[in-house]
Structure 1
């Protein structure tokens, strides 16, 4: 990371201008600074990204009701029948019939549609456009790192050499699929742990080996699998987290649902991984997107049904596990489809399309305007983008993940849109002393009060100095409700310190100063 970017991130996380700077704090050494930085930046929030591989047809997923006349003329091969659409009460759009569950989330203000997301100079190649979305690059530039990889690299300096460590024992990101994606590629190394598929995950946590042929080739395959397991340095941590979850909600036996089941299990097991990526293929619907006799059926309807059912099971499981307030989900796809349908009951590569966000913290509703469809649209015509996809990334970084500098992650600033509710946005923007830990008076004058918000585990409250040396054990035990702890500091030598709260899942830090005996 560039030194300038690093210092800017530190100043946000530890509120240096407002607290440390006013007190005359010098920055601690690299090792202790990294430790304190991670404690301060840890928000316990999770973003789950669902990649709809192939290019989802947004016009058949979120149907603009005021454009139905034109759509029936230019999309006769795939258009949904009006009487089958799921109309939204407060917007001039309707959902595909397969989105019945997600409509219920929408009605509860836990599902948000962002219309017409794309980028300038659309590239219609699956591979290149996927790289653009994952790297957050301009369409005419090549960037070999991902936007979340850069975010994680900024947030966790020293990775991978100094990780895992006592302050962050868990994977920084997890993706389910074959091979590490560009999304989690940092400037120096990949920032993710890869779980190749659900079967691999259950082999890992159950210590089972899939059968191999009793041949020399089978022995080699067995050896390769063994090396793959050994190479997962976080395997034991993941296994321990998964083992803590004894029951889950019922999930469909689909690939997307089983991936989301793993994600929920790991979150419920206490894994502090902030970012997950799951994948769902099949959206390249050039033909047989719909059935000729019934446009509500076909490949696209099945895909949307699997997505709907998978997300609904995931949300129910999060509620069952008590983790629903800390998780936000989003979908993205490399592009949408053309306005005009083709003669094969399908659609071809297009441009802008809607993105979806879901979760308790999401504002809900429809953001953006309905696309304008001409009844004289030609085959090469495409939807114009209203929101650059990097605006959406910037919004998530600021409003949910609490990023200190979007410019460092996305290379420049982007205008944001409202995705996360006002309370959650406020919490994300606060320095850590506003998140569950306060020490006053500060500077210390002999007797102080430590105010700690309730946590669901036993914690240790300690005092460490600016070099990271342990000075005093202040408290050990449970804090099941908001608590105020009296702390005598009469004998504490003058100096600059940090009060820390640590548990298996809890990391909080507050800078304090003692000015005299």
Structure 2
């Protein structure tokens, strides 16, 4: 075959399908910039969402530990429950703690960089890995099959007509990048994949360093090597990725050594590309190994060691280094991350030092832009337990998606993507939904009078008692006044919010009771 003919047919195929470069399946889906659509409260820089999949079904009970449920938990998972004395304690709550392998993440939580959403799942839980993952990726009901993803539909709505006219000099960047796995269903639109996949961080570095994969011996070896080189050099898409990689330089010294923590390797690439100027708004990373039917803990019986502890240590170290990198780069105000898993695990342990497929589990959203604390109540462990009992859902995972779409990406009607309305949760400091109200009314009652106010407003708070803080935030989520902070007994308490030198405008009263956060709008006249 002549080289010209070979190139013609190969490039024509590549224009509509994925191809491989040094083991990296790449989909040619460069898109326009999110410069206007994803502005950060008028800041022209783009917002970025980093999704971290904990593949296999993470055991939420041993990750974000409900300390007030220890009596019953000790009955049903005595061979793997973390001893209470070893649980990492968290500021602002007496009833939750972290797995002892998550010390870096504990620091992030105590520094106000983590929002925890409790008991996340969906109705009519499916216990198949593949089906449940599809439900999470597509945002479908459990009894409905959708062949495209929630993020893909969102990106498709933002960019009608894709891929016609892409890439261009003005819009050279990919819309989404998947690291650590083949293209996720979450990034698939109704007709086209909306991003690119890099399955191997080592291959990524070879690519951005202009290493061309040697072609195999054979009649078409020279042509194959040539097409790889031409594709790498000619595609505007690759130019934008390589250009960002060349410009971006990681700043943090906290990353583990290369190839010692696969998630950290992925997040290091994400930080490099963001710093390098890539306008990609969505990244997906993956950490495998959470299907802990056996040897979740060390078979010797030490619950502090084993597969789950190693995974949570990797997760914690990787996110901590990534957040440190973003801060040192000066871009941590426009990047947030979220962990998710296709389901949780059973309440009780099995006979193999593990747990089986369950339902709901906690979910972490992290970054400078989140409201720190806990959304929702601790799961309730019954006194009597069936062999396969698990935790019921409190928060539908699609409510988190709706919140991200509305409060982070500024989409006015998330239901246009999700197919139905879901509540908006108080995850982000930057509150784009003025009507959003207290999310956990059962935990405490809150009233502000007068509202609007001129000189002062009285905050009435009825609670079961505990650690309480009341803060006033401006429209950007910045704390402008701490009204009260300390321990208060059960009952109704009144605190006075003084106007002081506050200018006229809209503010938000953020109440934290034992880690549960509620927000109400208040107006200074």
Taking structure 1 as the reference length, the TM-score comes to 0.72
Unaligned runs of 5+ in 1: 1-33, 427-517
In structure 1, C-alpha distance between the alignment counterparts of 2:139 and 2:369, rounded to whole Å = 24
**Contact 1:122/1:351 (<8 A) preserved:** yes
More divergent stretch after superposition (48-57 vs 286-295): 286-295
Choose which of 51, 61, 64 in structure 2 pairs with 1:62.
64
Partner of 1:278: 285
Q: Does 1:322 align with 2:330?
A: yes
1:179 CA drift (Å): 2.4
Change beyond 3 A, Cα 1:216–1:353: farther
SS of equivalent residue, structure 2 residue 174? coil
**Contact 1:74/1:376 (<8 A) preserved:** no
1:168 CA drift (Å): 2.5
Choose which of 112, 115, 118 in structure 1 pairs with 2:115.
112
In structure 1, C-alpha distance between the alignment counterparts of 2:292 and 2:226, rounded to whole Å = 39
Choose which of 235, 243, 247 in structure 2 pairs with 1:244.
247
1:234 CA drift (Å): 1.4
**Contact 1:286/1:347 (<8 A) preserved:** yes
Deviations 1:219-248 (A, max 9, x none): 898689669858976111000011012443
Change beyond 3 A, Cα 1:132–1:233: farther
SS of equivalent residue, structure 1 residue 313? helix
1:407 CA drift (Å): 1.2
In structure 2, C-alpha distance between the alignment counterparts of 1:221 and 1:297, rounded to whole Å = 48
> What are the equivalent positions in structure 2 for 1:338-357 lying under 5 Å apart?
338-357=346-365
Deviations 1:269-311 (A, max 9, x none): 0111110001110000011100133101100000000000000
Partner of 1:333: 341
Q: Root-mean-square deviation (CA), in Å? A: 2.4
Q: Does 1:364 align with 2:372?
A: yes
More strand by share: 2
**Contact 2:38/2:409 (<8 A) preserved:** no
In structure 2, C-alpha distance between the alignment counterparts of 1:227 and 1:377, rounded to whole Å = 62
Moved over 3 A (4+): 37-40, 209-233, 422-426
More helix by share: 1
In structure 1, C-alpha distance between the alignment counterparts of 2:303 and 2:223, rounded to whole Å = 48
Deviations 1:7-41 (A, max 9, x none): xxxxxxxxxxxxxxxxxxxxxxxxxxx99x96541
In structure 2, C-alpha distance between the alignment counterparts of 1:138 and 1:223, rounded to whole Å = 47
Deviations 1:359-399 (A, max 9, x none): 00000101110111023211121100000110111011111
Partner of 1:264: 271
Change beyond 3 A, Cα 1:209–1:110: same
Across the two proteins, how many residue pairs are aligned to each other? 392
Partner of 2:191: 188
**Contact 1:39/1:167 (<8 A) preserved:** no
In structure 2, C-alpha distance between the alignment counterparts of 1:219 and 1:348, rounded to whole Å = 51
Taking structure 2 as the reference length, the TM-score comes to 0.71
Unaligned runs of 5+ in 2: 1-30, 40-45, 435-525
Partner of 1:81: 83
SS of equivalent residue, structure 1 residue 356? strand
Deviations 1:294-343 (A, max 9, x none): 10110000000000000011011111111111100000100000111001
In structure 1, C-alpha distance between the alignment counterparts of 2:242 and 2:64, rounded to whole Å = 39
Change beyond 3 A, Cα 1:290–1:192: same
In structure 2, C-alpha distance between the alignment counterparts of 1:236 and 1:336, rounded to whole Å = 41
Change beyond 3 A, Cα 1:279–1:232: farther
**Contact 2:410/2:432 (<8 A) preserved:** no
1:98 CA drift (Å): 1.2
Change beyond 3 A, Cα 1:38–1:422: closer
Partner of 1:373: 381
Change beyond 3 A, Cα 1:348–1:243: same
